[in-house]
Chains A and B, each alone.
Chain A
């Protein structure tokens, strides 16, 4: 294992994050606050409670997940796309590193950034609503796993993307709808049966459900299923990345 290389990539990426620290936090915190104002206060005041939790509190896990997923994807995809775009990737390809080290460095940094942002959003939400977290460790574990798996997915997108439009495409066309329809703002039990059935094909449902369980002790789907889903998703991403590096797809001529 080339630990120096992992450290070099990780610290280099984190340095970029800290250079733009204010920007990195302002936009997610601002948008989350807006969600609270609109959904929590304005609309939420007309909704009594969902599954015994006030609507304002109910949407907290979903909001955190929403930001964490989009941030993890955009950080990781940009992190690996940028060297490709400006050509500095030559260094990565000619260095004595293997794909595991590259992935740990880039994905690790992207996951760390999105974890920070997730925690800051969580802290922000405490300003708006009263919540107690039923299973704090499980909550943290879910958060970390989500950061990691979505950063892995972002890494794949970054390697696949041939230009900046494509970099935005998948998050915009696939991830955002899946996340919004994944029960961020509602319990899927509130949906008509047919839509409930369809929702079970949405992997994000399992993540948000599991995450919400760690807050309130109740979930749309069993917690074990949520864990399996996130484990399966992570494995799938890892397998794709392994294949990418084995074949040199989109990175090596």
Chain B
């Protein structure tokens, strides 16, 4: 896979002096779905706006499809479709007119058949001639998606596509994303919700305070999330783990009063029974047992906190 969007050392300082992006490096692979995960004010919208040309970068470089976003802005921007976070639409415009306008703006010749088909796939077929103000909030969001797709972009940015959207519509949104992915469109979506990233992303990038804290395959993140810990409290502290007991994943706690065993909860053989059977043999007695699971949420929170400390 080759990267279709490549961001290097990107910084953004707003006129207010606030530094919203502090040296972002990120490569987005062609055809992938990347979830950009981060708390409020992390810089997600700023990052997307800078890639799309809505805000100007203070430093660093961006290329889209190999085209520099400044020098070759026409080619770079032509590849991108953007669904903004806020619903910005002219209330008195007709749905199909505003979609047609978007297509024209990106230099594509008028193609009403394509637009009709696009509205149909977004379940807006019967709203083509309605005015925007007659639509529900969820429909408006889909109009924004239609506008972003009107010029057949290869990269689609979705800035919080499911904020304020009901479950049914959210599932519909995910289906749409899936369909687009199958057509080879690269998708970057921002979200606060880990489940959302889990449900549709190939990779997850975590951003906080203007810095990317992690970019990882979702599956390997999930594997980390799948890890559970068993804490075995002992009746008396020990100096070291007896050799008879030593095994991968087993550690002594800091206060030396417990054993901590980390295991994969999805594995066939977890090794818990073996560990517990071996305890008396090693001359240890257990006082209590506890298990805990690290969720992606926890990983996320701890990452964001590490970012804070740094």
Using a CB–CB cutoff of 8 Å, the interface residues on chain A facing chain B are 2-5, 7-9, 11-12, 15, 19, 82, 86-88, 90-97, 248, 252-253
Contact, CB under 8 Å: A248 / B147: no
Known: A86-B88, A90-B88, A253-B15. A8 touches B104 (CB 8 A): yes
Q: List 23 A-B contacts (CB under 8 A).
A: A2-B74, A2-B107, A3-B107, A4-B107, A4-B110, A7-B104, A8-B101, A8-B104, A15-B97, A86-B88, A90-B49, A90-B52, A90-B82, A92-B105, A94-B82, A96-B75, A96-B77, A96-B78, A96-B107, A97-B105, A252-B55, A253-B14, A253-B54
Contact, CB under 8 Å: A253 / B73: no
Instruction: Give A86 Cβ to nearest chain B Cβ, in Å.
Output: 6
Known: A86-B90, A96-B77. A8 touches B105 (CB 8 A): yes
Contact, CB under 8 Å: A88 / B90: yes
Known: A94-B82, A248-B56, A252-B55. A88 touches B104 (CB 8 A): no
Contact, CB under 8 Å: B77 / A4: no
Q: Which 4 A-B pairs have the closest CB atoms?
A: A8-B104, A87-B88, A96-B74, A94-B52
Closest to B20 in A: A253
Residues of B within 8 A of A96 (CB): 73-78, 106-107
Known: A4-B109, A5-B104, A8-B104. A95 touches B56 (CB 8 A): no
Measured in the bound complex, the distance between the Cα atoms of B102 and A94 in whole Å is 11
Measured in the bound complex, the distance between the Cα atoms of B7 and A15 in whole Å is 40
Using a CB–CB cutoff of 8 Å, the interface residues on chain B facing chain A are 14-15, 49, 52-56, 73-78, 80, 82, 84, 86, 88-90, 92, 97, 100-110, 147
Known: A91-B147, A95-B105. 14 other contacts (CB 8 A): A2-B107, A4-B105, A4-B106, A5-B104, A8-B105, A87-B88, A88-B90, A90-B84, A95-B77, A96-B73, A96-B78, A96-B106, A253-B15, A253-B49
Residues of A within 8 A of B97 (CB): 12, 15
Measured in the bound complex, the distance between the Cα atoms of B107 and A7 in whole Å is 9
Query: Which residue among A86, A93, A96 has the maximum number of chain B CB atoms within 10 Å of its CB?
Result: A96
Instruction: Give B135 Cβ to nearest chain A Cβ, in Å.
Output: 15
Residues of A within 8 A of B90 (CB): 82, 86, 88
Residues of A within 8 A of B74 (CB): 2, 96
Measured in the bound complex, the distance between the Cα atoms of B53 and A61 in whole Å is 45
Residues of B within 8 A of A94 (CB): 52-54, 77, 80, 82
Residues of B within 8 A of A12 (CB): 97, 101
Contact, CB under 8 Å: B53 / A8: no
Closest to B86 in A: A87
Measured in the bound complex, the distance between the Cα atoms of B75 and A95 in whole Å is 10
Instruction: Give A126 Cβ to nearest chain B Cβ, in Å.
Output: 35
A-B contact count (CB 8 A): 80
Residues of A within 8 A of B77 (CB): 94-96
Instruction: Give A140 Cβ to nearest chain B Cβ, in Å.
Output: 29
Instruction: Give A82 Cβ to nearest chain B Cβ, in Å.
Output: 8
Closest to B91 in A: A86
Closest to B74 in A: A96
Residues of B within 8 A of A82 (CB): 90
Measured in the bound complex, the distance between the Cα atoms of B110 and A7 in whole Å is 10
Residues of A within 8 A of B88 (CB): 86-88, 90
Closest to B52 in A: A94
Measured in the bound complex, the distance between the Cα atoms of B91 and A19 in whole Å is 13
Contact, CB under 8 Å: A5 / B106: yes
Query: Which residue among B74, B75, B88, B107 has the maximum number of chain A CB atoms within 10 Å of its CB?
Result: B107
Closest to A97 in B: B105
Residues of B within 8 A of A5 (CB): 104-107
Contact, CB under 8 Å: B105 / A253: no
Residues of A within 8 A of B56 (CB): 248, 252-253
Residues of A within 8 A of B86 (CB): 87
Measured in the bound complex, the distance between the Cα atoms of B73 and A93 in whole Å is 11
Residues of A within 8 A of B75 (CB): 96
Measured in the bound complex, the distance between the Cα atoms of B147 and A90 in whole Å is 12
Instruction: Give A175 Cβ to nearest chain B Cβ, in Å.
Output: 27
Contact, CB under 8 Å: B52 / A8: no
Instruction: Give A156 Cβ to nearest chain B Cβ, in Å.
Output: 20
Instruction: Give A118 Cβ to nearest chain B Cβ, in Å.
Output: 26
Measured in the bound complex, the distance between the Cα atoms of B100 and A7 in whole Å is 11
Instruction: Give B229 Cβ to nearest chain A Cβ, in Å.
Output: 45
Contact, CB under 8 Å: B103 / A90: no
Closest to B80 in A: A94
Measured in the bound complex, the distance between the Cα atoms of B101 and A4 in whole Å is 10
Instruction: Give A195 Cβ to nearest chain B Cβ, in Å.
Output: 44
Contact, CB under 8 Å: A93 / B107: no
Measured in the bound complex, the distance between the Cα atoms of B54 and A90 in whole Å is 6
Contact, CB under 8 Å: B106 / A93: no
Measured in the bound complex, the distance between the Cα atoms of B231 and A230 in whole Å is 85
Measured in the bound complex, the distance between the Cα atoms of B29 and A240 in whole Å is 41
